A and B are shown apart, each in its own frame.
Chain A
Amino acid sequence: MEEIFVLENVLEEAKAVSVNLEIVGLQKNYRAVTALKSVSMELKGNKIIVLLGVNGAGKTTLMRILAGLEKPDRGQILFNNQNTDPKELRQISTLVFQKTAMFTMNVYQNLAFGLKIRKVPKEVIPKRISDALQAVRLIGFEKRRAKKLSGGEQQRIALARAFLLDTDVLLLDEPTANLDPNSSTIIEKVIISQKSSQRIIIMATHNLNQARRVADEIVHIHDGEVVEIAKTDDFFENPKSEISRKFINGELDF
């Protein structure tokens, strides 16, 4: 009995320590195009990390690799100091796409899809779904056809679908692109509310104001390389690299 108790204590302590994700020398080429040259960084939970960069900088490629959708040509991804492959990454992370995709099902079924696949006990699914809908302020939308909802509503459902899974890594690829300011504000608030020591939130955006509002830490990617990693205030007040300074001032040449 005592041993079990001790073990539980250890587990509790382990939980209190934040999760961490280490990216080492990630490289990706698409035929002749180099999307990521060599990306390394270390990320911890309880923070929203914003990947900042112009279109084509490599943000989406990095997101897709972290989501386990693509294999890097070189480099490693360590989760809690363990090396992971794409299959494992798909279990520990989930990705919300820039362009929302919905299954031809109603909202409830769309939300339940991932839970069923991850073998969440049947009896807790309805409760978790209604909580998630409450979080994105779409209570009572269960029976609506997901594809018939507005762009903003669909994106909120997509977010709810991702939150529900309670993955260790939450990846958001420009989740508010093409949305009106009102929807963007709701989505930003929801994202912030999801912060936890057990969860790493990585969001890609090219919107500087949004980065300022949401981010705890900024990772500036340019031309497939990490140019700067800094706390949000430091990044905007006192950017260390020339490229970051130009990017903030909107002077970056292509």
Chain B
Amino acid sequence: MPDIIVPAIQQAIKLITSGDPEVYATVYRTIYVAGLGTLLSCLWSIPIAVFIGLYNFRGKWVIKGIFNALIGIPTVALGLLLFLLWSRQGEFGSLNLLYTLNGIAIGQAILVTPIIVSFTANALGNADTQLRDLAKTLGASGFRTNLRLIRETFWSMMLSVTAAFNRGFGELGIATIVGGSLAGETRVLTTSIALDLNRGFFDIAMAYGVILMAIVIILALTVSLIEHIKNEDITWKKFSFWKMY
């Protein structure tokens, strides 16, 4: 294994430091579509999650179940559906979203919706009873109570948003089918890996893989770090990595 991994990491470093604009552009495009997709999704996913998490209505468990099931939706299936809808002969062909970065972003926004909805609604539901009663006995109105509960679950929400970003960042199906992996236009990290592997550039594919992993890990750690600092009231002066765990 080290025979493969070590050169791959070396190749990755070489790729990053080489200053090849296409490498940077690919990384940028990947962050752009996943970031835009996640932000777009937040616009509707968080309100839906708040509604499911904080309000009781008939058939709530069915709705929760559907969203839970959709977490595992195959990206190729969703990609295919969007391809059919957005292609020239499709219902929404006039939107010209096929083979564009924004098209991938919208596809990913749909893809990550169940992740944000399920995780956030769950967190809100779990925080519910006790803190809800507490806020009420302190005199809070229904609206203020809900606002407080949302703030209490802020970091769980951030976790679901991070997970959503990572799902979009690492997915291949939508990026391939909707994006088409056009060189210099819609090619992202995952489609580059698939393509380079097919072309036999094994080391470059591995290098892209290392970059992909590194970004995902750095992002997750950054979110954890911010949460940790916020929760522990650590000032930078006092901060010590070894005290973290």
Whether A101 pairs with B148 at a CB distance below 8 angstroms is: no
The answer to whether B139 and A103 have CB atoms under 8 Å apart is: no
Q: How far is the CA of A67 from the CA of B137 in the complex (A)?
A: 7
Q: Mark B115-140, 1 if CB is under 8 A from A, else 0.
A: 00000000000000011011111111
Report the minimal beta-carbon distance from B17 to chain A, rounded to whole angstroms. Answer: 42
| Cα(A39)–Cα(B136), bound, Å | 24
Q: Are B139 and A145 in contact (CB under 8 A)?
A: no
A103 and B130 in contact, given A90-B139, A117-B144, A165-B139 (Cβ under 8 angstroms): no
- For residue B240, CB closer than 8 A to chain A, the reply is no
Interface pair A69/B136, CB less than 8 Å apart: yes
Flag whether A99 is at the interface (Cβ < 8 A): yes
CA distance A161 to B139 in the complex (A): 12
In the bound complex, do residue B231 and residue A117 qualify as a contact, i.e. CB atoms below 8 Å apart? no
Tell me the bound Cα distance from A103 to B148 in angstroms: 9
Q: B134: which A residues are within 8 A, CB to CB? A: 97, 101, 103
Q: What is the CA–CA distance of A162 and B144 in the complex, to the nearest angstrom? A: 18
The chain B residue sitting closest to A145, CB to CB, is B233
A19 to B139, CA, bound (A): 20
Cα of A104 to Cα of B127 in the assembled complex, Å = 11
CA distance A90 to B139 in the complex (A): 6
Contact, CB under 8 Å: B152 / A117 = no
- For A114, the chain B residues whose CB sits under 8 A away are 138-140
Asked if residues B131 and A97 are in contact (CB atoms below 8 Å), the reply is no
B130 lies within 8 A of A97 (CB):
yes
In contact, A97 and B233 (Cβ under 8 angstroms): no
Which chain B residue lies CB-closest to A96? B137
Q: Which A residues are CB-close (under 8 A) to B138?
A: 94, 113-114, 117, 161, 165
Complex interface: chain A residues within 8 A of B137 (CB): 67-69, 90, 93-95, 97, 162
Nearest-neighbor residue (CB-CB) of A87 within chain B: B141
Nearest chain B CB to A71's CB is how many angstroms away? 13
Main secondary structure of the interface of B (DSSP, over half): helix
Tell me the nearest residue of chain B to A113, going by C-beta: B138
Q: How long is the Cα–Cα vector from A208 to B14 in the complex, in angstroms?
A: 76
* Chain B residue with Cβ nearest A93: B137
Report the bound CA distance from A165 to B133 in whole Å: 16
The residues in B between 221 and 245 inclusive whose CB is less than 8 angstroms from any CB of A are: 231-233
A168 to B130, CA, bound (A): 23
Cα-based distance from A101 to B133 in the complex (angstroms):
9
CB nearest to B144 among chain A residues: A117
In the complex, whether A82 has a CB less than 8 A from a CB of chain B is no
Give the Cβ gap from A78 to chain B, nearest Cβ, in Å: 20
Which B residues touch A161, using CB under 8 A?
Answer: 138
Q: Which residues on B sit within 8 Å (CB–CB) of A91?
A: 139
Instruction: Tell me if A31 is interfacial: C-beta within 8 Å of chain B.
Output: no
Complex Cα gap A93–B137 (Å): 7
Q: Is the CB of B133 within 8 A of A117?
A: no
Q: From B134, which residue of chain A is reached at the shortest CB distance?
A: A101
Which of A69, A143, A162 lies in contact with B133, CB distance below 8 A?
A: A69
User: A90, B136: Cβ atoms under 8 Å?
Assistant: yes
Question: What B residues does A106 contact at CB under 8 A?
Answer: 233
Bound-state Cα–Cα, A143 to B138, Å: 20
Q: How far is the CB of B228 from chain A (nearest CB, A)?
A: 13
A237 to chain B, nearest CB (A): 35
A117/B140 in contact, CB under 8 A: yes
Give chain B residues whose Cβ lies under 8 Å from the Cβ of A143.
Answer: 233
Q: List 12 A-B contacts (CB under 8 A).
A: A64-B133, A94-B137, A94-B139, A101-B133, A101-B134, A103-B131, A113-B140, A117-B138, A118-B139, A143-B233, A161-B138, A165-B138
**Supplied contacts A67-B136, A103-B134, 7 more A-B pairs, CB within 8 Å:** A69-B136, A90-B137, A103-B131, A103-B148, A104-B231, A117-B139, A117-B141
Residues of B within 8 A of A (CB): 130-131, 133-141, 144, 148, 152, 231-233
Q: Which 7 A-B pairs have the closest CB atoms?
A: A114-B138, A95-B137, A101-B134, A101-B130, A117-B139, A118-B139, A94-B137
